[in-house]
Amino acid sequence: MIQDKIHDIVGKLPSGVKLVAVSKFHSVPELMEAYRAGQRCFGENRPQEFAMKVPEMPSDIEWHFIGHLQTNKLKLVLPYASLVESIDSKRLLDSVNAWGKANGKVVPVLLELHLGAEETKGGFTDQEIIDILSEYVDADSAYSHVHIRGLMGMATNTDDEAVIDSDFSRIEAFKKNLDRMFPSLAGFTELSIGMSDDWQLALRHGATIIRVGTAIFGPRKV
């Protein structure tokens, strides 16, 4: 039962850690079962599916967008997303900032660090994130319509727990280093790491957000 799975996970979370129920490819009735179990934060990967589900679900849901976002799909996501976790290029960050300016909004975002071993994974290098934050904290920064809330990362897709642990250790250490480098950075508090198979390991490395799909809803129905 979806309800039992949610209660089991939430019961193991420390105070202050948020569970994002990843609902890609799952139906609105399944999401509503999670909702009735008390789940209020959901994560979607695909803009069109995201925009279709929002009006069919209760209005008190906190929606996170966690997938690759193309700049021509911003209008499907940004009006509804409480947090865009997957900012993986400066071009996308600039486009989100421009959308916020045009629409009178400040968009909360996370910067995605390229973490896993796979070259196909998106995300910034360490230096690219440092450069962005250096510009962001400047008094004359153009980034007045995004609120950078922290980092997101996806560990290497492997069964080797030592590799995953190393990935999480790296992003945890990098986040702490950024906190020291940018002490004036307001609200830079989130670390989104950990999915269905590794969220308990992520908690040991300071995760404040975990993104869990299969362990709640079962295998995706493509």
pLDDT over 70 at 221, yes or no: no
Identify the band that residue 116 occupies on the pLDDT scale cut at 50, 70 and 90. confident
- The whole domain housing 134 covers 2-217
Alpha-carbon distance of 69 to 65, in angstroms, equals 8
- pTM for the whole thing? 0.96
CATH number at residue 198: 3.20.20.10
Single out the residue of 191, 207, 216 nearest to residue 13, CA to CA: 207
Residue 222 forms part of a structural domain:
no
Rg (CA), the chain: 17
The reply to whether 84 falls in a domain is: yes
Stretch 29-52: mean pLDDT: 97
Residue 37 located in a structural domain? yes
For the chain, the domain total comes to 1
Asked if residue 203 is part of any domain, the answer here is yes
